[in-house]
Structure 1
Amino acid sequence: MDRTPDWIAVDWGTSNVRAWAMTAAGEVLAEATSDKGMGKLSREEFEPALLDLIGGWGPGPHRVVACGMVGARQGWIEAPYARVPGPPLPQGLTMAPTTAPGLSFGIVPGLCQMDPADVMRGEETKVAGFLALHPGWDGTLLLPGTHPKWISVSAGEVVGFRTSLTGELFAALSGHTVLRHSVTTHGWDDAAFEAGVAEGLARPEALMNRLFGLRAESLLKGLQPPEARARLSGLLIGADLAGARAWWLGARVALLGAGDLMDTWRAALRSQGVQPEEADATQATLAGLTEAWRRSQ
């Protein structure tokens, strides 16, 4: 890289960290990634991990704006939650203690909801970036992932949100329960997935029984692993859709993410007559961090 960045954007999650060298105009000069996520570091290890990551980006000074689990209670420093309803980017950053000359590290606060209780860290920055890229947008944002989030947005504010364990449950059930014997493939069956979505949506109260039924059908009826895997995903997503019905039925919905999960949730929503808009999660994160940096000037 030929020049020192004007500032550095960082998305620091539980498992990984991504950093971008940025100009004041929002241009990306360079990008770096590491597997030194929050879950692998003690508090005193965050600054060395950051300096290792951005070491080739000039001597500094370096002004960093970050989002994600780096601001969790177990992170570099806890960035207190801001309550909703309210803007996705509250005023002010939480500054982490640093020792390197010329290094400042500001963290975007997460958001919390008191009733029903819910929290987010990192997603608020994606929401802010999405709104910066789509001014005046109102509706429901769906962020697929390990913990999918439905976020209601109106007049530039987060009105409310709900988080589920859908993705984590899929990983746990397919890897650590009796269902692992039936779901022994990365194969997929689209028809089985849609059938699972319809079943989970129509009868969410029967989910526990339907899940065990996948094992029974594999033993008694020859249910094949690609069908079992797809139906398992469909059942869980269908039950999630049932619980979030008021958030997507008749609403404007945008999917904000990347990768295969976008395909899965898009198919589930389309099976219910919803044609979601779509946006890239990385672009939204960068736009949100850029907005936070500009506000902190």
Structure 2
Amino acid sequence: MLADWIAVDWGTTHLRAWAMSAAGEVQATAASDAGMNGLSRDGFEPALLDLVGGWLAEGRQTPVIACGMVGARQGWAEAPYRAVPCTPLDAGAMIAAPCSDPRLSVRLIAGLSQASPADVMRGEETQIAGLLAARPDFDGVLCLPGTHSKWARISAGEVVSFQTFMTGELFALLAEQSVLRHSVAAAGWDDDAFAEALSDAISRPDRIGARLFTLRAEALLSGLAPEAARARLSGALIGVELAAARPYWLGQDIAVIGAAGIAGTYVAALTAQGALPQQYDGDEMTRAGLTAAHAQRKGASQ
């Protein structure tokens, strides 16, 4: 099976690739743990070839469009940030990655930056482009939850502004490395505990420090179930994020893009606040964005 072109999402810890047809259909998928963190600059091309070599034809260059941390300063080649307000994609800002294999022609998508308050994104701009490919008239706010959640204002096809929240990373640090690790389960859930903690945090975000320690205290004194503690920790942190991001989402058309589990959690949290968010699959939006980038690049080269 040979790919007409290849879509790549290359993050800090993982590499994912899709063999695409000329019509934009997925012909095959592949993934590995060859993320940016584990590679030197000269290790990117071999890592990609290990994954997609079987999709390449001899005597023909196969276009590869890649997004994510592969374009970071520590990546294959640096794709400089583009300052907002701007469209999520720009064919002219895609950087050619140096390749020794003549079968490869790799282009890296640039991330976005914001001067004040200072912020950056890499990878999310491609998901935003995917959403706009499906909804070109979208005017509202996108929430992209994850390790570092992003909230982006979209208007007239452009990213106007955005803000990052380290909610996912804070959850992992508190659940796995703080004193709360003795009380928070590694898995499991309690919907009621999540909803209660979410509501409390949104109404009183200033009390987050004290509320967090009650998880440990209640586990010792009242036998708080570890699954309930996990849900309450998540509810508290997401609640603080929603309270801070209220100027973004209040009264706006909201789309949430991400993996089903975490995106569903944010949709439930926003719905509890009276919002009407729509949920979109993160992988689908990434592929749609990469497809849009490929079309832009192809059009620019003709």
Q: Shorter-chain TM-score: what band?
A: over 0.9
State the distance in 1 between where 2:91 and 2:188 align.
Answer: 46
Match status 1:10 vs 2:8? yes
Shift, 1:9, TM fit? 0.8
Give, in whole Å, the separation in 1 of the partners of 2:188 and 2:289. Answer: 36
Q: Distance in 1 between matches of 2:185 and 2:110?
A: 41
SS class of match (2:90) = coil
Unpaired runs of 5+ in structure 1? Answer: none
Q: Pick the structure with more helix per residue.
A: 2
CA distance in structure 2 between the partners assigned to 1:287 and 1:19 by the alignment: 13
* Maintained 8 Å contact 2:143/2:151: yes
- Normalised to the residue count of structure 2, the TM-score between the two structures is 0.95
Structure 1 runs (4+) deviating above 4 angstroms are none
| SS across alignment from 1:246 | helix
Q: Match for 2:120: what amino acid? A: V
Alpha-carbon distance, 1:40 to partner? 0.9
Q: Write out per-residue CA displacement over residues 42-64 of structure 1, whole angstroms, 9 at most, x where no aligned residue.
A: 11000000011111113342211
Asked if residue 183 in structure 1 is aligned to residue 181 in structure 2, the reply is no
Larger deviation, residues 90-99 vs 232-241: 90-99
Residue in structure 2 matched with residue 49 of structure 1 by the alignment: 47
Measured in 2, the distance between the counterparts of 1:38 and 1:273 equals 40
104-113 or 220-229, which deviates more: 220-229
Q: How many residues align?
A: 295
Cα distance in 1, alignment partners of residues 7 and 24 from structure 2: 10
Corresponding residue number in structure 1 for 2:18: 20
Q: Secondary structure at the match of 1:244?
A: helix
In the alignment, is residue 279 of structure 1 matched against residue 275 of structure 2? no
Q: Which structure 2 segments of 5+ residues have no match?
A: none
One-letter amino acid matched to 1:85? P
CA distance in 2, matches of 1:25, 1:126: 19
What's the CA shift for 1:199?
1.1
Aligned to 1:225: 226
Aligned: 1:81 with 2:109:
no
Shift of 1:219: 1.4
- The equivalent of 1:62 in structure 2 is 62
Aligned amino acid, residue 242 of structure 2:
L
* Matched residue SS, 1:210: helix
User: Whole-Å Cα distance in 2 between the matches of residues 51 and 140 of structure 1?
Assistant: 38
Q: Answer whether contact 2:260 2:281 (CA < 8 A) is retained.
A: no
For residue 251 of structure 2, give the secondary structure of its aligned residue in structure 1: coil
1:131-166, Cα deviation, whole Å (9 max, x unpaired): 001120111111111111111101100011111110
Cα distance in 2 between the residues matched to 1:237 and 1:9 = 32
Q: Partners of 2:5 and 2:56 in 1: how far apart?
A: 11
SS in 1 for 2:99: coil
What TM-score do the two structures reach when normalised by structure 1? 0.97
Within 2, Cα distance between the matches of 1:221 and 1:23?
58
Identity %: 57
Shift of 1:185: 4.4
Q: CA deviation at 1:216?
A: 1.2
Tell me the alpha carbon deviations over residues 239-270 of structure 1, each in whole angstroms, 9 at most, x when there is no partner: 00010001111111111112310221111111
Hey, what's the Cα distance between the residues in 2 that align with 1:27 and 1:222?
52
SS class of match (1:188): coil
- Structure 2 residue identity aligned to 1:13: G
Q: Distance in 2 between matches of 1:184 and 1:101?
A: 50
Contact 2:185/2:229 (8 A) holds in 1: no
Look up the match of 1:72: 72
